[in-house]
Amino acid sequence: MGVQSDLEKTVQIASNDSSENRRLRLESAPKEPILIEARTKLYRRNPDVVAKTLYRALGVCENCKAKAPFARKRDNSPYLKVHHIKMLSAGGLDCIENTVALCPNCL
């Protein structure tokens, strides 16, 4: 179980409990946050797919057709994010046919 889904589950349990029980637990709960280490799996993205998708978009969001609202500080290129239409985790392919360049509003 992931840390996030674990939190959601325990928040639900806490929400369903009485205000008095929550107050009692909060009185004795440590206030210093506990740092945990988590492992995560990431897909290695093909940089050519990202570059080609951004080139195809020409600075325009491929969803709402608006011009990218600002430029990247690094190289002044239009700020669009390359997004997979079918997520890689759902079996989507890392190819330009499965990507769109999106503005921050459409992400």
Binding site for Zn ion (CB under 5 A): 61, 63-64, 103, 106
Residue 91 backbone dihedrals phi, psi, to 5 degrees: 95, 5
Token pair for 1: 């179980």
* Cβ-based nearer residue to Zn ion, 64 or 95: 64
| 88-93 CB contacts, 8 Å cutoff, 24+ apart | 88/43, 89/43
Least Å distance between CB 65 and Zn ion? 7
Least Å distance between CB 74 and Zn ion? 21
Least Å distance between CB 45 and Zn ion? 20
